[in-house]
Structure 1
């Protein structure tokens, strides 16, 4: 059976501007879906706005040093995020993939939220009936996508990093906006569980996870949706 193919979109943004703190993408939010999917004959292509090295949030390395899945991914898969291809090269190529996936980390709040090529790809995947998936802050990439002139997530059940979770990590004031607020502003039905609890939401072809804790189950939901 032919391998299923995932287009992973990572941030190129490496700092929280307001406080000059390093950031990027969040290790377990790529590591855990990768762990689930790579065991199911799934191939990965990784892109970012700038191409080249997609910055990995060093804080996420420290916080997951006791997580064997994240540690193994960090040690064995650096080529995935150190040699990313530019997003713009993939616009018009949704037919080559089964899903597009956005890991989180605070980086997407600054670049993927309004990256025109990323938005075009999301719209293209959605309109082609392909799976559009995101976890945690990765959900912010979906809020500006449109279908028939309306927000793509309007009326859809969506989750992502909650306002309470942003408060808990004490970064609310450093964010340009909040994931939960922007989902609601775009007409999405924001759903959530307890702070840092596991929550995955499937609404049609859109699959979202609330936070890092949700990453493994998000991977399983993607696998089911694409028949992996």
Structure 2
């Protein structure tokens, strides 16, 4: 009888432990944050005959920064499928620890090659949205009605919305709840006129990010060319250039807590 009692007690304790582990596992899953990354599908650099796309550092650094913290990331683009990487961002001078990690990461590369179609995602399924830059977004995402509506929905839900480098240009036609430009009266930053001049694309891009943000009523600030500069105003997070991408991710993660 004594041994039978001990066996029953052991089984009961084992069952309680298993149930506790299941509850903890479910709790962890419920606590996991979901962030949507949106990439450009555009790969033509104006009329130059050269290619463009998204800047790989501006994807890779935030991607690994958040992934390593347990954030679940979904990557979408207007057309879905393979998102184009700007060839310039693959140059040796543009490589960082994050891009080198990406170059060896078959799983991450597959995610880039099989992005979800943007029209298939819902803001309700995510805790935040992040837009990497590169010149491509100035041609498609800045005009994409699905993207515009998505950002407006995230904003209405008061969820973090983050952009880096050229990506703040995507806010060109995005409105706030009052129907005014979302950036009006907001502290913002983005790829500067002098940085665009430095890469000799001032007369190639459809518009200058700095000029657009100012024209839409944004309170624009900047650091010296290529220096880290990130601005947070409410749920809006903007970064100036590729060097700012990692800090944008850190600021976004803090906003998720």
The TM tier, using the shorter chain, reads: over 0.9
Task: Give yes or no for the alignment of 1:152 onto 2:182.
Answer: yes
Report the counterpart of residue 17 of structure 2 in structure 1. none
Report the counterpart of residue 109 of structure 2 in structure 1. 78
Report the counterpart of residue 21 of structure 1 in structure 2. 50
Report the counterpart of residue 184 of structure 1 in structure 2. 214
Matches for 1:134-213 after TM superposition, within 5 Å:
134-147=163-176, 148-213=178-243
Supply the distance in 1 between the matched residues of 2:94 and 2:55 (Cα, whole angstroms). 13
Matches for 1:1-12 after TM superposition, within 5 Å:
1=28, 2-12=31-41
Matches for 1:80-99 after TM superposition, within 5 Å:
80-90=111-121, 93-99=122-128
Q: Which residue, out of 68, 73, 76, partners 1:47?
A: 76
Report the counterpart of residue 32 of structure 1 in structure 2. 61
Change (3 A) 1:65 1:159: closer
Supply the distance in 1 between the matched residues of 2:67 and 2:130 (Cα, whole angstroms). 14
More relative contact order in 1 or in 2 (CA 8 Å, sep 6+)? 1
Query: What RMSD, in angstroms, separates the aligned Cα atoms of the two structures?
Result: 1.1
Task: Give yes or no for the alignment of 1:118 onto 2:180.
Answer: no
Q: 1:150-205 deviations in whole A, cap 9, x for unaligned?
A: 11111001111000000001110111110001111111111111011100000000
Flag the structure with higher helix content: 2
Aligned pair count reads: 225
Supply the distance in 1 between the matched residues of 2:46 and 2:168 (Cα, whole angstroms). 20
SS of residue in 2 equivalent to 1:19: coil
Supply the distance in 1 between the matched residues of 2:92 and 2:209 (Cα, whole angstroms). 22
Flag the structure with higher strand content: 1
SS of residue in 1 equivalent to 2:238: strand
Conservation of the 8 A alpha-carbon contact between 1:64 and 1:71? no
- For residue 63 of structure 1, report the CA deviation from its aligned partner: 4.0
Show structure 2 runs of 5+ residues with no match: 1-27
SS of residue in 1 equivalent to 2:133: coil
SS of residue in 2 equivalent to 1:114: coil
- For residue 72 of structure 1, report the CA deviation from its aligned partner: 0.8
Conservation of the 8 A alpha-carbon contact between 1:64 and 1:70? no
Supply the distance in 2 between the matched residues of 1:169 and 1:65 (Cα, whole angstroms). 13
- For residue 20 of structure 1, report the CA deviation from its aligned partner: 1.6
The structure with the largest alpha-carbon Rg is 2
Change (3 A) 1:165 1:111: same
Show structure 1 runs of 5+ residues with no match: none
TM-score (norm 2): 0.85
TM-score (norm 1): 0.96
